[in-house]
Amino acid sequence: MSLMKTNMLIRSLSTSSTAAQLVKPPVQIFGLEGRYASALYSAASKNKALDAVEKELSQFQQLMKTDAKLKEFIVNPTLKRSLKADAIKNVASKASMTPTTGNLLSLMAENGRLDKLEAVINAFKIMMAAHRGEVTCEVTTAKPLDQAQRQNLEAALKKFLKGNQTLHLTAKVDPALIGGMVVSIGDKYVDMSVASKVKKYTELISAAV
């Protein structure tokens, strides 16, 4: 998306007279969700509503998980965009959402992009975490980590952080890894799983035959 189109998106989301001036988020996320989230971050920053927008989007995201009818309404491709836009505006109004949040929901409805709302919210959360100096790390292992392993891992990962940053570690389990672990921290991704090594050696053997 060009800078002009990005600024147009920001204008659509913002209520500020200086909406055309892009405020870059602390972390870049690519794809459609990244463009919407970046424009939202810029608009919310100019309207001094970053925390409020994050809270409202988190609440709306939780509502989508618990309200099956709302979820179906959002993802249903057969409903007219205008119908969705009017309904979303009504929801935003009743919930007393900030104009920035309401503008995002309305714009995505009008553009037929509500099916990407979950991804946009998650992208915005990543930006807000970086804004607060939080570094999200996801570790996947074949078996659950015990307390000692988790503490040792956290100590090692904290060495990657800068002075004002804090680590937020989430651990997942995937038996398909066989052993080892896969670590994703910030924009770094390291695959140290046994499964990846087996795949690599299998490919080398196959190529040699």
pLDDT at 10: 58
- Per-residue DSSP letters for 144-207? ---HHHHHHHHHHHGGGS-TT-EEEEEEEE-GGG-SSEEEEETTEEEE--HHHHHHHHHHHHHH
Reported as type and span, the H/E element at residue 134 is strand 134-141
In the chain, residues under CATH classification 1.10.520.20 are 3-129
What three-state secondary structure class fits 141? Answer: strand
pTM over 0.85? The answer is: no
Q: State the architecture of 3-129 in CATH terms.
A: Orthogonal Bundle (1.10)
Is the domain spanning 133-208 CATH 1.25.40? The answer is no
Per-residue model confidence as pLDDT tens for the chain (209 residues): 455 555 566 566 766 555 557 888 988 888 999 999 999 999 999 999 999 999 999 999 999 999 998 889 888 888 999 999 999 999 899 989 999 999 999 999 999 999 999 999 999 998 998 899 888 888 999 999 999 999 998 998 888 888 788 888 889 999 999 999 999 886 678 899 988 888 887 788 777 65
In the chain, residues under CATH classification 3.40.30 are 133-208
